[in-house]
Amino acid sequence: MAGHEALAGRGAVVTGAAGGIGRALATRLVAEGARVVVNDLDADAVRRTAEEIGAVAVPGDCSSDAGVRALVEEATAELGRIDVYLANAGIDGAGGPDSLQTPDDVWERVVDVNVMAHVRAARLLVPEWVASAEAGGEGGRFVVTASAAGLLTMIGSAPYSVTKHAAVGFAEWLSVTYGHRGVTVQAICPQGVRTRMLEEAGPLQDLLSHDEALTPETVAGCWVDALADDRFLVLPHPEVAAYYAARATDTDRWLGGMRRLQSKLDDHLAGPA
């Protein structure tokens, strides 16, 4: 089922929903008539969000195997069935010129949140959706909040860039493998969005805002609009499509341009001679 009617009456889960894009997605889901469970590590903040928007809070760590199992179990008990799962939680990890030296434990945490959280949730949800569709019922919708970094790259943070590529790659694999078996998969890939992550981006803030920093509500609206044709890539910044095409058709030229941007950043960080 496509379009706004894909949400009315549906049971939906949004991770990383205490603020930012996650809260905006959850708010829009409620407005569209969905029954919503919101999840976040910040228990107090996600409970406030739930109270304010009319959702149910299930705090916890959606990235661990035990955490995602508890989330799916509690959300299913609350909703009856999870029809839509928005894997929105994400972290940026270490950035800056020493990003290559990011310790293994930080890499592991970023991989857990930005990639394995999706894998662990899909393991639980997809088989049931496929079985339901094959029995003549409804399947489900799995939505990943990735980033334009997952299609391009991210200057300044190796863990973020690599894991967002992996998040898009996993979503693509899900779509290829289960898209004809009742599972709709989408990847939301914005550039700069007015969230705490952007506020804390330091000298990268101007770069990420080059094509306008959007509000989280705008991003959520773009996703809802994308339900009309169930398109896989949801690009709140339409310019990203052109950058993505340029990267694919002339990779060396694109890499050269990115190196020039990196050089400008290096000069900025170095300051006056």
Q: Which residues are catalytic?
A: 160
How many residues are there in the chain? 273
What is the distance between the alpha carbons of residues 238 and 256, in angstroms, rounded to a whole number? 22
What is the distance between the alpha carbons of residues 260 and 265, in angstroms, rounded to a whole number? 9
What is the distance between the alpha carbons of residues 165 and 109, in angstroms, rounded to a whole number? 16
- Angle between helix 158-178 and 104-111 (nearest 10): 30
- Angle between helix 251-270 and 239-249 (nearest 10): 110
User: Which residues are paired to 12 by β-bridges?
Assistant: 36, 84
Q: Residue 159, Cα to own-chain centre: how many angstroms?
A: 15
